[in-house]
Structure 1
C-alpha cells in the first residue's frame, strides 16, 4: 500500500478567523471530551459532534468545518470509508485520523494518509486514558491549530530560493582542535571527517522576515544520509525514498519520524516496499551498514554510537526532546560526532523546530543540511526553523529532493 498522495490544496481562512472543528467518534465519552476541549480553546469553534462517518458526510455542508477529527473504528460508516467522501465534498478539508495503537489501526491510519488525510493522532487505549492524558489533549489541539490555520500559498511561496552564485576559490579552514585530519573508513564509511574548505554563504531574499542564508555544501563526500520528519512525513519520506535506490546502495540511511510504537513498524515496512531496500526499526547495538534503512522506533530516541570501532544503533528511553520521542535532534547530534563533514541531513515537513539544534551541530562539524520548502510541506515548522537558522545548503520542493541527493552522493558539490 503506497503512502504518496498529491499535495493538499490550501485551506481557506474562515471569514471570522476562527477554525471550525467537526468531531466524529462513536464513543460518547471521547466525543464529548474532545468537543469540550475544542469549545474551551480560543480561536476554535465546535462545528459538529457526530457518531459515525455517515453523519459526518451527510452534515458536512451544513456544519462547514475546516478540520475534521475522524475516528478510524465506527459503526455504519468507518473513518477510512468516510474519508474520500468527505474530501470529495470539500476538497481543502483538513482531516485528522484518530485511532488506538493497534497494528490494524496503524495500517488504516497510514492508508488514510495516501487517500488525502492530513495527519493522524494516536488515542489512548481506554476512555480513562483519553480523560487523563494531557499529552493527547495538547497534541490534538496543536494539530488542529497548525493544520487548520495553515495559509500555504502554493502559487506564491513566502520566499523563493535562488541558485547561489559560483563561490570564489575557497579558503582553507583549519581542522577542529584535537580532530584527526583523516581516518580509515569503516564498513559503513563512518569516519569523523573535518571540512577541508568552506566558501562564503549566500543570502536568499525572504518576504516574511530576515533573508535566509544558504551555505555552500560540504566539499567532503557524504557517507551517511539522515532524515527527520513529523506531520506529513510519511508521504514525504515515500516521495523521497522511492527514488533513492542509487544512494541507499552506497550509504546507510537513518530516519527519525515522530510516530508512536507500532506505527513506526508499519512505516518501515512501507519504506522497504517503496524503496526496494531493507528497512526496519533500529535495534540497539546493531551495526550500521550501507544499503540499509534504519527507522527510529516509536517511544525511543535513536542515536549513533561507536562499538569496537564500528558505528552502531543506540536506543535511548530517556525524557522527551522537543516534546517528542523519538526526536530528530539526538540522531543529528550523535551522527555529527560520528561522521563529521561527511554527514548529510534532510529536514522534511513537520510541526515545531526539532532538527534545528542537531542541524547546527552537523554544520559545525562541516556537514550539510537540506530543508523541504514551505509550498510542498504540510507544516513548515521543522524545515522552516532549519531554514531560518541559516544552516541549510538547499531549500527545495519535495519532488526535487531525491534527485538532488542522488547528485550529491554521485560527486556533485553544488
Structure 2
C-alpha cells in the first residue's frame, strides 16, 4: 500500500513496485485518513507511508494502521533533513519497521534511481519477513503468546530458528574477556539498539562501537536517542578521538568507522573509502579493524538488518579468537545480517533480543583471563 499526498510520488512508487514480479501494490491513498478507511480491505503486508500529508499525517496514522492490520510492516518516507530525520526516528519508536529518504527532486536521475533501488529492496525484505511470521503464527498459534525464557541463570544456549529455516551451528565463546563491544545493525536496528543497550550499557566497563546503516543527519539523532535510553555518553565518532570505556560511539552517516592502535591508545578513524555491501558506514570495515586491534578480546553483536554486512567482519573476529552473538529470527525485523553470521557457524549464541543483554553482561563481566591484549 502506498500512502503519499503527491500524485507524482504515488504514481512513481506504484509503477516501480508493480514492475517487480514478486511485488504488487494493492491500494494507494493520498493521506492517512484515507489509508485508514482502505487498509483493512486491502490487507497489505507493507505500507509505504509519507510523513507530511494533509488531513492526517503519517505519524498520526501510524499507530492506527498497526492496530488495523496485524503484522503489517510500515516503511516511513521522509525528506533528508534534520526535521525529517527526527520525525523518522519518532516513527521508529512508534512501531515503524524502517524509513526511506526521498530525493529532493525527481529531476536528479542518480538520486531517484538510488531511491527506487532502496524502496524495492526494503519493500521486498519487509514483505518476506511479514509473510514468514504470518505463516509461522498460523501454523503454531501458541507461539504468538509465548514469552522468551528467562536467561539470567541459563548458560549461553544453542539457537533455534523461529520459522524452522536454515540450520545454524554454534562455536565456543572466545577465551578472553571482552575489552570492546562492537554492534552492527540495519533495518529495525534503531529500536533494537535502544532495547538492547538501555538496561545494560551503564553496567558495561567497555567501549561500545555501533555501525547502523543510516545516512548523515540520522546518525547524530540516533546517538542522542541511545544516550537518553542508556544514560551513557553517546555521540557520533570523531576522527582521531581516543576510545574510552563507558562511552558509546556511533559511526556517522557516509563514513566508515574503524579502529587503529596509536602507541598504547586505541583511536577511531573515519574514512571515505568506497561503500561495502552497498553501505557506508558498513559493519565489515569496523569489525575487521576491531579484530586487528583488540584480537580475541572482541565481542561482536549482529542485530536485525537486511543483507549480509557483518559476515566477513565477524569471520575475521572469530579467526583471532573473538566472540560473536546474533539476534534470532523471531525478534528481528529482517533476519538478513544476523541470519548470515548464524548460518555461517560464526556465533556462540543466537538469541532473542530480550536475552542478548544478559549474554553480553555475562561475557563482559566474566573472569579476566591471562594474556588479554
Structure 2 residue 24 is the aligned partner of structure 1 residue 40: no
Structure 2 residue 102 is the aligned partner of structure 1 residue 123: yes
Shift of the alpha carbon at 1:101? 1.2
Structure 2 residue 256 is the aligned partner of structure 1 residue 301: yes
Q: In 2 relative to 1, CA 373–361 (structure 1 residues): closer, same or farther, beyond 3 Å?
A: same
Greater C-alpha Rg: 1
Shift of the alpha carbon at 1:130? 7.1
Structure 2 residue 359 is the aligned partner of structure 1 residue 409: no
Corresponding residue for residue 225 of structure 1: 181
Q: Give deviations 1:178-220, integer Å, cap 9, x for gaps.
A: xxxxxxxxxxxxxxxxxxxxxxxx98777534x4221111111
1:82 alignment partner, one of 61, 65, 73: 61
Matches within 5 A, 1:94-243: 94-129=73-108, 132-150=111-129, 151-152=132-133, 153=136, 207-209=164-166, 211-243=167-199
Shift of the alpha carbon at 1:27? 2.0
SS in 2 for 1:340: helix
Shift of the alpha carbon at 1:60? 1.5
Corresponding residue for residue 232 of structure 2: 277
2:219 alignment partner, one of 264, 278, 285: 264
**What is the TM-score when the length of structure 2 is the normalising length?**
0.88
Corresponding residue for residue 170 of structure 1: none
**What is the TM-score when the length of structure 1 is the normalising length?**
0.80
1:329 alignment partner, one of 284, 290, 311: 284
CA distance in 2, matches of 1:392, 1:95: 30
Shift of the alpha carbon at 1:97? 0.2
2:340 alignment partner, one of 377, 380, 385: 385
SS in 2 for 1:383: helix
Shift of the alpha carbon at 1:100? 0.9
Corresponding residue for residue 371 of structure 2: none
Corresponding residue for residue 31 of structure 1: 10
Corresponding residue for residue 59 of structure 1: 38
Count, aligned residues: 350
Consecutive unaligned residues in structure 1, runs of 5 or more: 1-21, 164-201
Q: In 2 relative to 1, CA 412–238 (structure 1 residues): closer, same or farther, beyond 3 Å?
A: farther
Structure 2 residue 209 is the aligned partner of structure 1 residue 254: yes
CA distance in 2, matches of 1:379, 1:104: 26
CA distance in 2, matches of 1:92, 1:130: 34
CA distance in 1, matches of 2:75, 2:301: 25
Q: Tell me if structure 1 keeps the 8 A contact 2:182–2:299.
A: yes
Shift of the alpha carbon at 1:330? 0.4
Moved over 4 A (4+): 154-157, 202-207
SS in 2 for 1:349: coil
Q: In 2 relative to 1, CA 67–136 (structure 1 residues): closer, same or farther, beyond 3 Å?
A: same
Q: Give deviations 1:143-184, integer Å, cap 9, x for gaps.
A: 111111221336669xx99x9xxxxxxxxxxxxxxxxxxxxx
Deviates more, 1:108-117 or 1:360-369: 108-117
CA distance in 2, matches of 1:83, 1:130: 30
SS in 2 for 1:277: coil
2:266 alignment partner, one of 292, 304, 311: 311
SS in 1 for 2:227: helix
CA distance in 2, matches of 1:203, 1:97: 35
Structure in which a larger fraction of residues adopt helix: 2
Shift of the alpha carbon at 1:356? 0.7
Structure 2 residue 319 is the aligned partner of structure 1 residue 340: no
Shift of the alpha carbon at 1:247? 4.2
Shift of the alpha carbon at 1:57? 1.2
Shift of the alpha carbon at 1:128? 2.2
SS in 1 for 2:169: strand
Q: In 2 relative to 1, CA 203–114 (structure 1 residues): closer, same or farther, beyond 3 Å?
A: closer
CA distance in 2, matches of 1:383, 1:231: 11
Q: In 2 relative to 1, CA 343–307 (structure 1 residues): closer, same or farther, beyond 3 Å?
A: same
CA distance in 2, matches of 1:220, 1:46: 51
